[in-house]
Structure 1
Amino acid sequence: MTLKSTLLGAVCMTALAPMAFADGERGRDGQLNIIYWQAPSIMNPFLSGGTKDLEAASLVLEPLGRYDEKGALVPYLAEEIPTVENGGVSEDLTSITWKIAEGMVWSDGTPVTSADVKFTAEYCMHPEGGCAQASKFGGVKEIEEVDARTIKVTFENAMPNPYQPFMGAQSPILQKAQFANCLGAKAPECTEANFNPIGTGPFVVKDFRPNDVVQLVANENFRDASKPAFSTLTLKGGGDAAAAGRAVLETGEFDYAWNLQLAPDVIAKMAEAGKGVPVSAFGTLVERIEINLTNPSSDLPPETRATLAEPHPILSDFKVRKALSMAIDRALLTEVGYGQAGRATCNFVPAPALYASDNTECLTQDIEGAKALLEEAGWTDTDGDGVRDKDGMKLALLFQSSTNAVRQDFQALIKDFWQQIGVETELRNIDGSVFFGGDPGSPDTFQKFYADVEMYANNFDGTDPQAYLGSRRCGAEPKPASQWQGENINRFCDPAYDALLDELGRTGELEKRGEIARKLNDMLTKDTMTILPLVDRGRVSGRSVTLGGVVLNVWDSELWNVADWYRVN
């Protein structure tokens, strides 16, 4: 099979079909109310790895292309998706050339140009900028402005999946004029730009209150004069998933509620009120435990706590990590937390099927085996208090996660599982707006990881996991020098893993790409157990019965087609 008959030929490149809704003038349906129980902290997705920030920003900022609800690539700011067949991707796959559609303008009325696209790459690739989406630009050699509307991206080597830069909600285009003075270490200091970005999307920020509410108005310069149907939009943050669910499904106070991470019977009971309906789909969202490989002691300076300069005194031992995994009953967690909306998994990458490993070893709980493994590692209960110890150190862990009823249920169950094998566990839960916020001054973000283990979920956009797996590359860890941005949350570093990533980047044949991706997945979840997957979560949200046009998308921003939403009479 040739390089041309790779992923490039396996993905639908057709333009996005218009959604069916009543014709009319922009803003005809008045106010739209959306609730995210994890409140947005910033409107710049390059400075946050939190899904709630990426999705809030997608109301305003757009990429050249997106992934639709089936994972197919569709043009947004671009005229079309470049392919080998249409000449947009070079025969040797070392470059991709995008053309901005004619007439694209920013919300301030100025034209979108190739200079904006090139600047966006420079912004994220700046070594001192701490870009949370840096892996999207891995392997980029050069960005060239061919003309005012044409941009050429050249890669260091053949790139079988050249759709990483400028595709999806994680890689939108920034306006150069607004962010020109925000490069490198200055990036987090540009509060006005980060809170009120000028975009091309259907809405414009009117007022942004971090960790609270975003008020938006229709973009009068949006490319379709009949969209959006709503003149104003309020994205309210905070509270919890239960309150968000009730606000849509029971009371009808809000039109859309994101990420209803609730027990299935709770959602069904809410829906009985008839004000709203749950919408769901499976994608690549995995609830998991990250194992901290560094020493999180507050006695150490931040630079040391951020890297492997001083390894974790307990969790650096593979046998301990494996014992923790063996003690977990993933089937019970799934039943309690998600029911039919979840599937127990051992995979970091659960889909598409081509990239999903057949590893099922972790699905069987083995308490006695976990105890024996800890004994082998030298952890015994010398004083009879039920907690193992070794060389004067207790086998005690701090386990943190965001505040959410399902996550706290999981924490309680896992604490019990670990207690059964002699592990003492202290639980901490942190407000999701803070935990996922990315504030470099906060000690409580998931990026800083000032705990021993932490639990959360995220996913990758599109259907190819290369950038997602690339998040575990050596050097991608959050640290002070990167404003605490970075994707390698548990500070995993293995040259063999990086070499395999490089091989993935050079490989075009689909079956071979799948084989390499599965090996990379297994290195993290089976061979080293630095990530303990728990549940492959279906995305569940809620919409009002009076809201039309909603198409749940697990491959991009959940708000990807908000321009097509409308009020049902």
Structure 2
Amino acid sequence: MDENEIQGLVTEVKQGTLSRRSFIGKVAAFGIAAPIASQILVWHDVAMADATLDYKPTKAGGGGPLKILLWQAPTLLNPHFALGTKDQIASRIFFEPLAGWDKEGNLVPCLAAEVPTKANGGLAADGMSVVWKLKQGVKWHDGKPFTADDVVFTWQYAADPATAAFTTGSYKDIKVDKIDDHTVKVTFKAPTPFWADPFVGGQVGQILPKHHFGDYVGAKSREAPGNLKPVGTGPYRFVEFKPGDMIRAERNPDYHVKNQPHFDTLEVKGGGDAVSAARAVLQTGEYDFAWNMQVEEEVLKRMEASGKGKLDITPSGNVEFIILNTTDPWTEVDGERSSVKTKHPTLSDPAVRRAINLLIDRDSIQKFIYGRGGIATASFVNAPKQFKSPKLKYEFDIDKANKILDEAGWTKGADGIREKDGKKLKYVFQTSTNAPRQKTQAIIKQACQKAGIEIEVKAVTASVFFSSDVGNPDTYSKFYADMEMYNTTQPQPDPERLLNQCVSWEIATKDNKWLGRNNSRWSDPEADKAYKAAQSELDPVKRAALLMKVDEIFCGAHVFLPLLSRPIVNAGVNNLVVDMSGWDTITWNLAAWYRV
């Protein structure tokens, strides 16, 4: 399909003779992924949809209680400190962005009155600015009006280095001006092809009320009562929060969307594990919905057979991967381990990292553990298709790994463990407590033994491992181990935000309270250069090539060892209708959930 054919179909959409869904289907037949097809419509000034769910209720309320299980329990409710997905999901119940992403990668307005386009005057032709018109009549949960002042404040709050926000990277290089009470202008330092990052989506875009956080900025940001007792604009109002345990909320009677939300109360229960969460929905029906069914395929099939619930599987850009630590996690420098001022005694050797990559049996991990929940991959970026590198391949070869280590001078001692210059290939491999992850650890450990590498497996309670608590030594962002494994989310249909985990200015350190996105601490000047160039490259083909290069550098250096491309797998009872998106938090459209 060439440019003229695409333009012809776009014209049909504008004329109303072709639906947007049909457009996506037609271009998908030529290998263009749905999110990119949707983005093409944005580029051609075709407005996005108002919703993706066919909402049936004719009035707000009346749905009774909604009970959700997040087996990785939330620990805070400020979205700009929400390092873990669990905290982002929980925060999104109360706070909202200007717009979110639906399952097809469409931009859907939330606190914005409309999605900016060139046609409506929102997008500048030179890519230097975007104007957001805000929805009028929106109230914070305490009755105060939502205005442009809140949007400007959120920018100032997140951009301030002293705040040490998880979202700083999306806000530090922009300028936000109030045009009037219901209009703001975002100005970029350079042409910005992916402008829908600040104020967009559940991971970085949620707006804070100035009147609640204004006295808690910079160094005082952690003292704000709103970090644990949120006042937002969302469909549910805060009632109670017990960190690491439970959230209770009630329907917001002043919610700004007609006839929403359907449920009268909301309970979000944390703790336990994925298996017990799956059982509580699929077998007993005790809860309505459970997030992240990271449960072995065989176990899920047995539970589904009860007929009380079903899995909801949504394509996404999420990836399960391993990071190899090239800094020293066992030596403390200036009050922190895994400091960029150190080098790992053995994993700084590229040959060792390459050998470990060859000792991962990805096909078996997919087949025997994850099933529908994962597809073996060698790429950190797997979707949309246009951004996945064709150069990245994987193989499982124990003999080849042994040969590489032999040639690099790592010889086996009397105990069978390889060593060189008095340093042994012995590693602590950590991840969260979860049966599929522990089985994956076991598979990798067994293969490593055959190559003279000793692995000590470590499992950390999920609520601790993914905690945003800066005082916790066992978080994945501190990375006080040699290897670690987890799933990282791609929060938009564009991988720029995902790949900021590969740039030097996002390295997690003590100074930024370990909220930098780059947990590997490894960086490469060429990756930095390609990423920066992609941020201002308006040609979509050239931009995709630059982002692929970043992926290729990190995976090619075997600092990132991707395992599985993972769809979002949740469980719901049969009479619950939900609206999932692979490009946003699961609660992105919680107001539209209902029971039939």
TM-score under structure 2 normalisation? 0.91
Aligned residue number for residue 591 of structure 2: 563
Identify which of 527, 542, 553 aligns with 2:571. 542
Aligned residue number for residue 346 of structure 1: 378
Identify which of 238, 242, 247 aligns with 2:280. 247
Report the Cα offset of residue 351 of structure 1.
0.4
Structure having greater relative contact order (Cα 8 Å, sep ≥ 6): 1
Report the Cα offset of residue 360 of structure 1.
4.2
Identify which of 95, 99, 102 aligns with 2:133. 99
Structure 1 counterpart of 2:451, one-letter code: I
Q: 1:524 to 1:264 in 2, by over 3 A?
A: same
Aligned residue number for residue 554 of structure 2: 524
Report the Cα offset of residue 110 of structure 1.
1.1
- Equivalents in 2 of 1:14, 1:299: separation in Å? 51
1:52-67 counterparts in 2 under 5 A?
52-67=86-101
Structure 2 counterpart of 1:200, one-letter code: T
- Equivalents in 2 of 1:48, 1:377: separation in Å? 42
CA-atom RMSD, angstroms?
A: 1.8
Residue 318 of structure 2 is aligned to residue 285 of structure 1: yes
Report the Cα offset of residue 503 of structure 1.
0.7
Aligned residue number for residue 441 of structure 1: 471
Aligned residue number for residue 143 of structure 1: 176
Cα deviation, 1:292-341, whole Å, max 9, x if unaligned, reads: 121111554434x2532111111111111111001111101111221133
Contact kept in structure 2, 1:11 and 1:73, CA below 8 Å = no
- Equivalents in 2 of 1:30, 1:316: separation in Å? 56
Aligned residue number for residue 86 of structure 1: 120
Contact kept in structure 1, 2:321 and 2:564, CA below 8 Å = yes
SS in 2 for 1:482: coil
1:375-414 counterparts in 2 under 5 A?
375-381=406-412, 383-414=413-444
Q: 1:138 to 1:419 in 2, by over 3 A?
A: farther
Aligned residue number for residue 213 of structure 1: 246
Identify which of 182, 197, 202 aligns with 2:216. 182
Q: Which moved more, 1:217-226 or 1:481-490?
A: 217-226
- Equivalents in 1 of 2:46, 2:274: separation in Å? 35
- Equivalents in 1 of 2:145, 2:369: separation in Å? 48
Structure 2 counterpart of 1:455, one-letter code: M
- Equivalents in 1 of 2:400, 2:447: separation in Å? 13
1:314-463 counterparts in 2 under 5 A?
314-362=346-394, 364-381=395-412, 383-463=413-493
Contact kept in structure 1, 2:140 and 2:231, CA below 8 Å = yes
- Equivalents in 2 of 1:348, 1:522: separation in Å? 9
Report the Cα offset of residue 172 of structure 1.
0.7
1:235-274 counterparts in 2 under 5 A?
235-274=268-307
Aligned residue number for residue 533 of structure 1: 562
Structure 2 counterpart of 1:234, one-letter code: E
Report the Cα offset of residue 546 of structure 1.
2.1
Aligned residue number for residue 51 of structure 1: 85
Contact kept in structure 2, 1:211 and 1:238, CA below 8 Å = yes
- Equivalents in 1 of 2:352, 2:117: separation in Å? 47
Q: Which moved more, 1:454-463 or 1:368-377?
A: 368-377
What number of residue pairs does the alignment pair up? 559
Cα deviation, 1:506-552, whole Å, max 9, x if unaligned, reads: 211111111111111101111x111000011121110011212x122
SS in 2 for 1:361: coil
SS in 1 for 2:95: coil
Residue 59 of structure 2 is aligned to residue 28 of structure 1: no
Structure 1 counterpart of 2:364, one-letter code: L
Structure 1 counterpart of 2:251, one-letter code: A
- Equivalents in 1 of 2:239, 2:427: separation in Å? 44
The gaps in structure 2 that reach 5 residues or longer are 11-38
1:148-159 counterparts in 2 under 5 A?
148-159=181-192
Report the Cα offset of residue 135 of structure 1.
2.5
The gaps in structure 1 that reach 5 residues or longer are none
Q: 1:418 to 1:13 in 2, by over 3 A?
A: farther
Aligned residue number for residue 34 of structure 2: none
Contact kept in structure 2, 1:82 and 1:89, CA below 8 Å = yes
- Equivalents in 1 of 2:541, 2:468: separation in Å? 37
Identify which of 119, 142, 150 aligns with 1:108. 142
Aligned residue number for residue 340 of structure 2: 308
- Equivalents in 1 of 2:47, 2:166: separation in Å? 27
Contact kept in structure 2, 1:306 and 1:477, CA below 8 Å = no
Aligned residue number for residue 160 of structure 1: 193
Report the Cα offset of residue 226 of structure 1.
2.2
- Equivalents in 1 of 2:353, 2:154: separation in Å? 39
Q: Which moved more, 1:246-255 or 1:178-187?
A: 178-187
- Equivalents in 2 of 1:78, 1:151: separation in Å? 10
Structure 2 counterpart of 1:529, one-letter code: H
Contact kept in structure 1, 2:579 and 2:592, CA below 8 Å = no
- Equivalents in 2 of 1:182, 1:153: separation in Å? 24
Contact kept in structure 1, 2:260 and 2:591, CA below 8 Å = yes
Structure 1 counterpart of 2:534, one-letter code: L
Contact kept in structure 1, 2:45 and 2:117, CA below 8 Å = no
Cα deviation, 1:64-115, whole Å, max 9, x if unaligned, reads: 0100111111111001111222210111110111111111221111111111
Contact kept in structure 2, 1:185 and 1:483, CA below 8 Å = no
- Equivalents in 2 of 1:564, 1:439: separation in Å? 32
- Equivalents in 2 of 1:114, 1:71: separation in Å? 26
Report the Cα offset of residue 225 of structure 1.
4.7
Report the Cα offset of residue 267 of structure 1.
0.9
- Equivalents in 2 of 1:19, 1:351: separation in Å? 23
Cα deviation, 1:349-382, whole Å, max 9, x if unaligned, reads: 10000101113432x211111111112222111x
TM-score under structure 1 normalisation? 0.95
- Equivalents in 2 of 1:131, 1:247: separation in Å? 35
Report the Cα offset of residue 495 of structure 1.
2.0
Contact kept in structure 1, 2:161 and 2:168, CA below 8 Å = no
- Equivalents in 2 of 1:279, 1:369: separation in Å? 40
- Equivalents in 1 of 2:165, 2:139: separation in Å? 25
Cα deviation, 1:413-449, whole Å, max 9, x if unaligned, reads: 1111111111111111111111111100110101111
SS in 2 for 1:466: coil
Report the Cα offset of residue 470 of structure 1.
2.0
Structure 2 counterpart of 1:560, one-letter code: W
Contact kept in structure 2, 1:12 and 1:73, CA below 8 Å = no
- Equivalents in 2 of 1:491, 1:18: separation in Å? 39
Report the Cα offset of residue 202 of structure 1.
0.5
Contact kept in structure 2, 1:338 and 1:537, CA below 8 Å = no
Identify which of 234, 242, 245 aligns with 2:267. 234
SS in 1 for 2:506: coil
Structure 1 counterpart of 2:236, one-letter code: F
